[in-house]
A and B are shown apart, each in its own frame.
Chain A
Amino acid sequence: MHEHADRLAGGLVGVDPDLAREFEARLVESSRLAFRVAYSVLRHREDAEDVAQEAFAKAYRSFRQLRDRDRFRAWLARMTWRLAIDRCRASNRRQRVEMVANDNTGPTTAEAVIARDRADQLWRAIDRLPEKLRIVIVLASIEGHEVQEVASLLGIPVGTVKSRLFIARQRLKEQLQWMRSESASR
C-alpha cells in the first residue's frame, strides 16, 4: 500500500507524501463501500464503478480540507450516494438494471430463476422507499454495518436510524409479501 502511495506522491509533484499515503489507505479501506453504495442506486457495475471513481476524485480534491479524517467514510458514502442519484436521474438508467443483463448469461435452473425473481422483487421494493429510508436500509445491509455505524455514516442520531430502519423493514416486508402473493396466485 505504501508503495502505491509513494509512487503516487512521487508522480504528483507538490503533494505531501504523508497525505498521499493517508489517502491511499482510505481508498483501500473504502473502495468496496463506495462501489456498493453506487451499485445499490444504479444496479449496473460499470456505472457504479464510474460513480465511485468520481466520488474518490472529488474526495481527493478536497481531502486536505477535511479536518476530521475519521469522517472520510461518511463523507465518501454520502457523496457517492448523491452522485449515483444524480447519474440515475440524468441517464434514467434504472430501467437497464444489471439483473436484466444477467438473465442472458446466468444459470437458467429453476432455482436460479426463482432467486433472480426474488432479487428483482426486492430491488423494486427498495426503489419504492423514500430516499431517507432507502439509504438507511442500504447502508445497514452493506458490510453488516451496525446502527451506530449507519448513524455515523449519515451524521444522524442513532434513534433516527433505528426508527427509519424499522419503518423501512416493515415497508419492504409488506411490499415483498404483496408481490410474492401476486406471483404465487398467477
Chain B
Amino acid sequence: MDAQRISESIDLDSELAALLSVEPSVEFVARVRMRIAAEPAPRSWRPSWLLVTASACALLVTIGLALRPSHLSTSASSVFAEISLLAPTLVPGPMAAAISGSRRERPTPEMRAMMQSNQDAVRAMNSHLESRNYEAIAGDAATLTRNFASLERFWSARQVEGAAALSRRGLTVATELRAAVLMGDASGVAQAIADMTAVCNACHTQYREELPDHTYAIKL
C-alpha cells in the first residue's frame, strides 16, 4: 500500500470517535452516588454558625467591658462565664451547646462492638457488591438490621431523638437492602448501600466526636 492510498484510507474523525465511544459500566453512576453519600456535606460559602457565634461573643465581650463600672473586676474568665450562661438564649442550639458544654459520654464496650460490626458489614457489602455476591450482602444486611435495632433502643433510652431517628432510618434501609437482594434488583442494592453509608456518615457527623487521643466520644 503506497503512502497516498494509506493517507486516503485514514478517516481520522471516525477512528477517533470509535476509539472514544466507550461506555462506563452499568454500576458506575450508582458507585459514584455511593461514594458521594460517604462524603461529608459540602462546605458552605456562607458564614458558618461558628463565625456568627464568635462574632456575637466578641460583640458581647466588647459591650460588657464598655458598660462595666470601672471599680469592678473585669477578668476575662468572669466575662466568659457570663456569656456562657447567656449563650443558650442568644445563639441557636448546636453552638449554644458548644459554648455552654454539651454532654459527652464514652461509648460502652457493647456500643463500640456494634459500631465495629456496622463498619465491618458496610465494608464487606461494598466488596461483596464488587464481586456481585448478593447472598453475602443479605447476611451483612441481617447484621445491620440487628445492630440498628439495638442502636435505636440505645439512643431512645438516652432521649437523643435525632440519633434514634437515624437508627430507625438505618433499620429501614437495611430492610430495603434485604428486599432488593431478594428481588435481584442490582441497582436497588447499590442504592441501599449508598443510603446506608449516608446514614452512618450523618450519625457520626452529628453524634460522634474524636478526642485528642483519637478515641471517640458520643455526643448526647
Instruction: Known contacts A57-B36, A176-B10, A177-B3; decide if A12 and B198 are in contact (CB<8 Å).
Output: yes
On whether the beta carbons of A49 and B31 are closer than 8 Å, the reply is yes
Say how far A43's CB is from chain B's closest CB, in angstroms: 9
Q: Check: A2 CB closer than 8 A to any chain B CB.
A: no
B191-209 to A contact mask, C-beta < 8 Å, 1/0? 1001101110110011000
Chain B: interface size category: 35 or more
For the complex, give the distance between the alpha carbons of A184 and B17 in Å: 24
Q: Which of A8, A32, A144 contacts B33 (CB 8 A)?
A: A8
A19 part of interface (Cβ distance < 8 Å): yes
- Chain A, residue nearest B40 (CB): A61
Whether B72 is near chain A, meaning CB under 8 Å from some CB there, is: no
- Is B63 at the interface (CB under 8 A from chain A)? no
- Assembly CA distance A14 to B48 (angstroms): 13
List CB contacts (< 8 Å) of A104-162 with chain B: 118-119, 122-123, 137-138, 141-142, 144
Shortest C-beta distance, A22 to chain B (Å), equals 11
Are the C-beta atoms of A12 and B202 separated by less than 8 Å? yes
Which of chain A's residues has its CB closest to B34's CB?
A53
B33 & A40 in contact (Cβ 8 Å cutoff): no
Q: Which residue of B lies closest to A14 (CB)?
A: B41
User: How near does chain A come to B135, taking the closest CB pair, in angstroms?
Assistant: 24
In the complex, are the beta carbons of B16 and A137 less than 8 A apart?
Answer: yes
Nearest chain-A residue to B29 (Cβ)?
A31
- A60 and B19 within 8 A (CB): no
Chain A residues whose C-beta falls within 8 Å of the C-beta of B13 in the assembled complex: 141
Among B12, B16, B39, point to the contact of A57 (Cβ < 8 A): B39
| CB within 8 Å of B: which A1-39 residues | 4, 7-8, 10-15, 19, 23-24, 27-28, 31-32, 35-36, 39
Please state if B32 and A56 are interface contacts (CB–CB under 8 Å).
yes
Q: State how many angstroms separate the Cβ of B51 from the closest Cβ of chain A.
A: 16
Which A residues are in CB contact (< 8 Å) with B6?
176-177, 180-181, 184
Q: Which residues of chain A come closer than 8 Å to B15, judged between CB atoms?
A: 118-119, 122
Nearest B residue (CB) for A172: B12
Q: Which of B20-28, B78-86, B120-128, B143-151 contacts A (4 or more CB under 8 A)?
A: B20-28
How far, in Å, is A142 (CB) from chain B's closest CB?
5
Please tell me if the beta carbons of A49 and B24 are within 8 angstroms of each other in the complex.
Answer: yes
| A177-B32 in contact (CB<8A) | no
Q: A4-B191, A32-B24 are in contact. Are A61 and B33 (CB under 8 A)?
A: no
Q: Is B69 an interface residue (CB 8 A)?
A: no
Taken together as a complex, chains A and B put the C-alpha atoms of A53 and B198 apart, in Å, by 17
Contact B19 A12 (CB under 8 A): no
- Which of chain B's residues have a CB closer than 8 A to the CB of A45? 22, 24-25
A91 contact set on B, CB distance < 8 A:
none
User: Within the complex, what minimum Cβ distance (angstroms) separates A118 from chain B?
Assistant: 7
Can you name 13 A-B residue pairings with CB atoms under 8 Å?
A10-B169, A27-B36, A31-B28, A35-B23, A39-B22, A49-B28, A53-B32, A56-B32, A57-B36, A64-B43, A122-B19, A177-B10, A180-B1
Q: A13-B206, A57-B36 are in contact. List 7 more A-B contacts (CB 8 A).
A: A10-B169, A11-B197, A14-B202, A27-B33, A64-B45, A118-B15, A173-B10
* Chain B residues near A (Cβ < 8 Å): 1, 3, 6-7, 9-10, 12-13, 15-20, 22-25, 28-29, 31-33, 35-37, 39-45, 166, 169, 191, 194-195, 197-199, 201-202, 205-206
Residues of A within 8 A of B (CB): 4, 7-8, 10-15, 19, 23-24, 27-28, 31-32, 35-36, 39-40, 45, 48-49, 52-53, 56-57, 60-65, 118-119, 122-123, 137-138, 141-142, 144, 169, 172-173, 176-177, 180-181, 184
Q: Which 6 A-B pairs have the closest CB atoms?
A: A11-B198, A141-B16, A35-B24, A13-B202, A184-B1, A64-B42
